[in-house]
Amino acid sequence: MSRAARASIDLDAIRHNYRLAKSQAPAARAAAIIKAGAYGHGAVAVAGALKAEADAFGVACIEEAIELRDAGIEQPVVLLEGFFEADELEYIARHNLWTAIHSPHQVEALARAQLPAPVNVWLKMDSGMHRLGIEPENLRATYDRLRSLGQVAEITLMSHFACADELDLETTRQQIACFDRAVEGIDAPHSLSNSPATLAWPEAHRDWLRPGLMLYGATPFLVEQEQAARLEAAMTLTSEIIAIHDLQPGDAVGYGAGFVCERPSRIATVAMGYGDGYPRHAANGTPVVVNGQRTVTAGRVSMDMMTIDITDIPGAGIGDRVELWGKQLPVSEVAVHCSTIPYTLLTCLTPRVPRVYE
C-alpha cells in the first residue's frame, strides 16, 4: 500500500459504544444502525463485529440488506425507509427483513402481495418532523388495517425526532407527547430513540433503541453531555507529510491564495484531499494532529492534497503521521470547523481510502 491515507477502524470501540447504548435502557432491545456503509466504517465488517450481541440491524434500503445477507449476517434487518417497489416484498419475507411502513401506498402494496411468510412491520408515525410517516390521526386505522392482514406478523410503532440533539428545546417532548396520544390503547412495542435520544432522553427509550452515530464514537451534541463523553472513537483517519516548504511573510498557499503567511512559516503538504472525502470547505485553522501535537490547516483543500502549518512543530518531517480525526481529535470537533456535522464527514469518506480493521 503506497499512498499513506487510510482509515483505521477500531471494532472494539464499536462494540463498546453498542454496549453503552444498551446500558442506557437495559430492558430495551437495540437495532444497530449500519446504513450508508455503517456511516463509512464498512457495513459487513461492523455487522460481523456486532453479530454476537446486536438484537437487529438497521439499514436504509434493500440493497444494503442484501449485502448483509450475502455476507452471512442472520440477525433481523430493519429497512428504515421501507420498500420502494412491491416486488421487494418477496425477498423481504424470505430473508427475515423487517420493513418500515410510512405511507398508505405501502400498506396497500403489502395487502396485495403473495408472500412465503408474514413480515414484521415497523409502522412509522409522523410526530412532527414531516419527512416520513403516517399522520397521527390516521395511525390507529392504519395499525388496524395492518393487523387484519395475513401478510403481517408483528408490528412495532416508531417515530423519529427532529431536534433530539438540541437539549434545551421542547421539540422532543412535544413529539413524544404527540406519539403517546396517537398510540394510546394500542398494544405494540415502541421505537423512538436515535443516538441523541438514547443518550439524553430516557423518556423516549421504550422497547427498541436505534443507535446510529453513537456506535462510531461521535457525539451528536454541540455541548458536553455526560453519556456522550463515554463514547470511544471508532475511525481514525490518517495520512502522511509528503512535502515541506519554508515560506516568508506574504507568501500565499494553495488554490485561490486562500492562506497568506503572517510570519516565517513551515507549511507541510499532506496526502489527503476532497477526493478522499476530506471536505474542501474546511476553513483555515481546522485542527489536525502531527506526531501527537495539534496544529491547523493552512490553505484550501485540493482534490488529493491539503496543507498544514507545522511551524511550531520543529521536529516534523517527511513521512510523519497526520491524524485528520480520530482517537486524538474528535470528528465532531473537525465538523464544526467545516460548517457541517460528523455524519457527513464519516459517510462521505471515499472508497479510495482503505479501511483497516483493528
173 annotated among ligand-binding-site residues? no
∠ CA 59-61-66, nearest 5°, is: 85
Helix, strand or coil for residue 181? helix
Main-chain dihedrals φ then ψ at residue 111, nearest 5 degrees: -65, -30
∠ CA 180-181-183, nearest 5°, is: 65
**Residues contacting residue 122 through CB under 8 Å, at least 6 positions apart:** 78, 80, 98, 99, 100, 101, 155, 156, 157, 158, 191
Please provide the distance, in angstroms rounded to a whole number, between the alpha carbons at the two ends of the chain. Answer: 17
Beta strand ranges found along 51-93 (DSSP E): 56-59, 77-79
Please, what's the b/e burial string for 325-342 (b: 16 or more CB within 10 A of its CB; e: otherwise)?
bbbebbbbebbebbeebb
* Long-range CB contacts for residues 67-71, cutoff 8 Å, separation at least 24: 67/43, 68/34, 68/43, 68/44, 69/95, 71/44, 71/47
Count of beta carbons in the 10 Å neighbourhood of residue 49: 24
305 annotated among ligand-binding-site residues? no
Say if residues 126 and 159 touch (Cβ distance below 8 Å). yes
Selected catalytic residue, list 35, 143, 274, 343 = 35
Q: Is 124 among the catalytic positions?
A: no
Query: CA-CA distance, 221 to 238, in Å (whole number)?
Result: 24
Q: Is 51 among the catalytic positions?
A: no
Query: CA-CA distance, 218 to 198, in Å (whole number)?
Result: 14
Selected catalytic residue, list 18, 51, 124, 255 = 255
Q: Residues forming the annotated binding site?
A: 131, 303
Q: Residues forming the annotated binding site for substrate?
A: 131, 303
- Point out the residues that are catalytic: 35, 255
